[in-house]
Amino acid sequence: MIDKKRISEAVASIISSYKLPERPDGLYRPIEYALDCGGKRLRPSLLLASCMAVGGKIEEAESAALGIEMFHNFTLLHDDVMDRADMRRGRPTVHVKWNDVTAILSGDAMLTLAGSLITEVPDCVLRKVLAMFNRTAMEVYEGQQYDMDFEHRNDVSVDEYMAMIRLKTSVLLGCACAIGATTGGAGDKDVDAFYSYGENLGLAFQLRDDWLDTYGDAEVFGKAIGGDIVNRKKTWLLISALRERTEELSGILSEDLEDGELIRQVKEVYDSLHLSERCDVLINSYAEKAVSALDKVAMPDSDRKYFTELALSLSQRDK
Instruction: Give burial (CB, 10 Å; 0-12/13-18/19+) of 96.
Output: middle
Contact predicate 107/73, CB 8 Å: no
Instruction: Pick one of 126, 225, 253, 257: the residue that binds a copy of itself (CB under 8 A).
Output: 126
Tell me the C-alpha distance between 283 and 207, whole Å.
Answer: 6
Among 39, 147, 148, 43, residue whose Cα is nearest residue 88: 39
Residue 167 beta carbon to a copy of itself: minimum distance, rounded to whole angstroms: 10
Tell me the C-alpha distance between 238 and 169, whole Å.
Answer: 19
Residue 45 beta carbon to a copy of itself: minimum distance, rounded to whole angstroms: 24
Helix (H) / strand (E) element for 88: namely strand 87-88
Determine if 123 is a binding residue for a copy of itself (CB under 8 A). Answer: yes
Residue 101 beta carbon to a copy of itself: minimum distance, rounded to whole angstroms: 5
The piece of 54-62, 104-112, 204-212, 217-225 that touches a copy of itself (CB under 8 A) is: 104-112
Determine if 160 is a binding residue for a copy of itself (CB under 8 A). Answer: no
The piece of 136-144, 186-194, 272-280, 283-291 that touches a copy of itself (CB under 8 A) is: 136-144
Determine if 218 is a binding residue for a copy of itself (CB under 8 A). Answer: no
Question: Which residue, 234 or 267, has its beta carbon nearer to a copy of itself?
Answer: 234
Task: For residue 111, give every residue at least 6 positions away whose Cβ sits within 8 Å of its Cβ, in sequence order, or none.
Answer: 71, 74, 137
- Give 8's Cβ-side CA count (13 Å radius): 5
Residue 170 beta carbon to a copy of itself: minimum distance, rounded to whole angstroms: 17
Question: Which residue, 145 or 272, has its beta carbon nearer to a copy of itself?
Answer: 145
Contact predicate 111/71, CB 8 Å: yes
Among 13, 64, 69, 78, residue whose Cα is nearest residue 41: 69
Instruction: Pick one of 39, 55, 115, 185: the residue that binds a copy of itself (CB under 8 A).
Output: 115
Among 105, 131, 85, residue whose Cα is nearest residue 31: 105
Within 51-90, which residues bind a copy of itself (CB under 8 A)?
Answer: 78, 81-82
Alpha carbon separation from 114 to 72, 107, 219 (Å, rounded)? 9, 10, 34
Determine if 231 is a binding residue for a copy of itself (CB under 8 A). Answer: no
Instruction: Pick one of 44, 67, 107, 216: the residue that binds a copy of itself (CB under 8 A).
Output: 107
DSSP conformation class of 297: S
Q: How many residues of this chain interact with a copy of itself, rule: CB under 8 A?
A: 34
Question: Which residue, 130 or 273, has its beta carbon nearer to a copy of itself?
Answer: 130
Determine if 153 is a binding residue for a copy of itself (CB under 8 A). Answer: no
Determine if 127 is a binding residue for a copy of itself (CB under 8 A). Answer: yes
Within 27-56, which residues bind a copy of itself (CB under 8 A)?
Answer: 27
Contact predicate 112/75, CB 8 Å: no
Question: Which residue, 3 or 108, has its beta carbon nearer to a copy of itself?
Answer: 108
Site residues (CB under 8 A) for a copy of itself?
24, 26-27, 78, 81-82, 100-101, 104-105, 107-109, 111-113, 115-116, 119, 123, 126-127, 130-131, 134, 137-138, 141-142, 144-146, 148-149
